[in-house]
Amino acid sequence: MAPASKSRDTYYLTTAIAYPNGVPHIGHAYEAIATDALARFQRLDGKDVFFLTGTDEHGLKMVQTAQKEGLTPAELATRNAGRFRQMDDLLNVSYDRFIRTSEEQHHRSSQEIWQRMVKNGDIYLDSYAGWYSVRDEAYYAEDETTVGEDKVRRGPQGTPVEWVEEQSYFFKLSAYQDRLLQLYADQPDFIGPDSRKNEVVSFVRGGLKDLSVSRTTFDWGIKVPDADGHVMYVWVDALTNYITGVGFPNESDPNWRYWPADLHVIGKDIIRFHAVYWPAFLMSAGIPVQKRVFAHGFLFNRGEKMSKSLGNVVDPFNLAEQYGVDQLRYFLLREVQFGQDGSYNHEAIVNRINADLANDLGNLAQRSLSMIAKQCESIVPEPGEFSDNDKAILSQADGMLALARSAMETQQIHQALNAVWAVVAEANRYFAGEAPWALAKTDPARQRTVLYVTAEVIRQIAILAQPAIPASAAKLLDILAIPADQRDFAALATRIRPGTQMPAPAPVFPRYVEPAAT
């Protein structure tokens, strides 16, 4: 009898949804690329993956920006959401759904979670008086704000705050302190990296105030059910996108099987919303909480914060055009420790492109595969017995998956890449040491073995490089004539087949050359 087919493990991951009050910047590109690398890794590792990204379209920030530009908030959202989607497509971000919070399904979803919170007795009407940052779309306690020399009061992220007094619905966040602390204790992996976890735990230990969750001074948002004049506080609907994305409020939607999310990838500035408010809303609504939140760091241009006034806001479309999509992806993923802040500049990008991609991997592939083309008629050679050196490099290559897997489990993307590029470096030493070019006359059988081993190691490197540099890795695998269905991690357990006809090798990783001064 055939074994019952086992359904694959699901893996649901998300990016933050960006405010489309402006066009995407490098921070958005970074988050999309990193989450994409994580999504691709899990897919290649055999998981049934769902990857959600999108735009967060409500709130006062959208209203104010639209006013300035002479547009309606809906027009502004539509214009810029298109740009975010184009960026994702350009950067080869393999999302399964691009959600916009202005979608009708999302309105129903947010109203349903609201009603469940009401039913649970967690929503009450009162009036709010306090500080609000439009830029952060966040309420701050007075002691979280400071008044600068310019007499402007600012919140903890450095954005100006304004005094707000209005009637508002409140969510009983204060009632969730113990349950949240219990959650962090029961699920030690709930928040990563650890430094962020400590920050959240001490925030929650410090006591939680109830949260104002509706606004009455504008109407660009999701209507509070049965409460004329109230729209939901933008973060209530924003966070709810993660369940809308997999079918909520229709729990018989086939995609609902993906909930709870395995991973929310976000930036460090919005950890409180994801690790405190969101699980509390879910608990209140009787919906399972997500499994993990990982906060990445911020990217700085030459160490400086990006800002429109400094004129250093870098357009990801320009970067991709200047350096290449995979080149940009590789740089960001390898150079910046995921979870830490990072800095980028032209020299560092060029150095990574030319050293790691063009020289180390590109030259190795080009030299060895063109030798196979010339001296073995483009046929993967038949190896003889493996020497100790052959066995050593093959076993190092065989060890990559376990290292990459354990790094990726905790979102240490840079470490996974370090493990792969350690093998690239070793393969270069192997190739130089075995000097196959000199063996053509003296020992052609040995030459074939060395070329076979090198091709096999390049195959493994290319398979494991796919999450970071999908298009270039695919080109390498094409050159090695690896069939499309043998490019996942399960295929790492096999070996490249001798006798396979390969297409002519073509360089995959061009060097970056400075444009000539005009």
Q: Among 96, 11, 4, 37, which residue's Cα sits nearest to residue 465?
A: 37
Identify which range of 41-49, 186-194, 235-243, 374-382 contacts ligand ME8 by CB under 6 A.
Answer: 235-243
CB 345 within 8 A of CB 302: yes
- In the complex, the smallest distance separating the C-beta of residue 327 from ligand ME8, rounded to whole angstroms, is 19
| Residue spans of alpha helices (H) in 245-387 | 271-272, 278-285, 316-323, 325-335, 346-351, 364-375
Beta strands in 85-122 (DSSP E): 97-100
164 lies in the site for ligand ME8, by CB under 6 A: no
30 lies in the site for ligand ME8, by CB under 6 A: yes
Q: Which of 48, 269, 335, 478 binds ligand ME8 (CB under 6 A)?
A: 269
- In the complex, the smallest distance separating the C-beta of residue 32 from ligand ME8, rounded to whole angstroms, is 9
Return the number of the residue (19 or 338) whose C-beta is nearest ligand ME8: 19
Return the number of the residue (17 or 482) whose C-beta is nearest ligand ME8: 17
Identify which range of 12-20, 174-182, 210-218, 495-503 contacts ligand ME8 by CB under 6 A.
Answer: 12-20
- How far CA 178 is from CA of 170, 188, 473, in Å, comes to 19, 15, 48
19 lies in the site for ligand ME8, by CB under 6 A: yes
Identify which range of 16-24, 75-83, 279-287, 495-503 contacts ligand ME8 by CB under 6 A.
Answer: 16-24
* H or E segment and range at residue 69: helix 60-69
Q: Which of 12, 27, 118, 221 binds ligand ME8 (CB under 6 A)?
A: 27
C-alpha count within 13 angstroms, C-beta hemisphere, residue 484: 0
C-beta neighbour count of 405 within 10 angstroms: 15
66 lies in the site for ligand ME8, by CB under 6 A: no
306 lies in the site for ligand ME8, by CB under 6 A: yes
Identify which range of 13-21, 219-227, 386-394, 408-416 contacts ligand ME8 by CB under 6 A.
Answer: 13-21
17 lies in the site for ligand ME8, by CB under 6 A: yes
- In the complex, the smallest distance separating the C-beta of residue 132 from ligand ME8, rounded to whole angstroms, is 15
Give the distance between the most distant pair of CA atoms in the chain: 89
When computed from its CA atoms, the radius of gyration of the chain, rounded to whole angstroms, is 26
Place of tokens 């909520």: 248
271 lies in the site for ligand ME8, by CB under 6 A: no
156 lies in the site for ligand ME8, by CB under 6 A: no
DSSP reduced 3-state for 223: strand
Q: Among 106, 123, 105, which residue's Cα sits nearest to residue 114?
A: 123
Return the number of the residue (103 or 426) whose C-beta is nearest ligand ME8: 103
Q: Which of 13, 113, 138, 238 binds ligand ME8 (CB under 6 A)?
A: 238
Residue span 37-56 as binding mask against ligand ME8, x where in contact by CB under 6 A, dash where not = -------------------x
Whats the size of the chain, residue-wise? 518
267 lies in the site for ligand ME8, by CB under 6 A: yes
Give the per-residue SS3 of 424-477. HHHHHHHHHHHCHHHHHHHCHHHHHHHHHHHHHHHHHHHHHHCCCCHHHHHHHH
- In the complex, the smallest distance separating the C-beta of residue 196 from ligand ME8, rounded to whole angstroms, is 12
Interface residues toward ligand ME8, by CB under 6 A: 16-19, 27-28, 30-31, 56, 238-239, 241, 266-267, 269-270, 298-299, 306
